Amino acid sequence: QVQLVESGGGLVQAGGSLRLSCAASGNFINIMSWYRQAPGKQRELVASITRDGTNGYGDSVKDRFTISRDNAKNTIYLQMSSLKPDDTAVYYCRAQRFYVNYWGQGTQVTVSS
């Protein structure tokens, strides 16, 4: 079993920055990702990163968000810059271990205009 604890969400003005963290328990975790879900919308992939640091981003956040990973701490980070009201959502961390996906409880990010 893998447990994920997210932190760092909050309220920020448009154009501002936030950094999210997700700490995972357990070993042999492969891909870790951030997803988000806005009210009335489907959950979408924001960014993902493998153990060796290979990463990928959703089109809407490229060049604004940066995902990073500290394998020693089993923690990933999402540095979000140039935030827009459309980035308002609950952000979820996901970890994959042995092809099983685990989800965090989510952290709210609200961007005011």
Question: pLDDT by residue (tens digit) across 50-83?
Answer: 999 999 999 999 999 999 999 999 999 999 999 9
Indicate whether 1 pLDDT > 90.
Answer: no
Which has the closest alpha carbon to 10: 60, 83, 102, 95? 83
Report pLDDT for 27.
84
Which has the closest alpha carbon to 102: 19, 9, 6, 32? 32
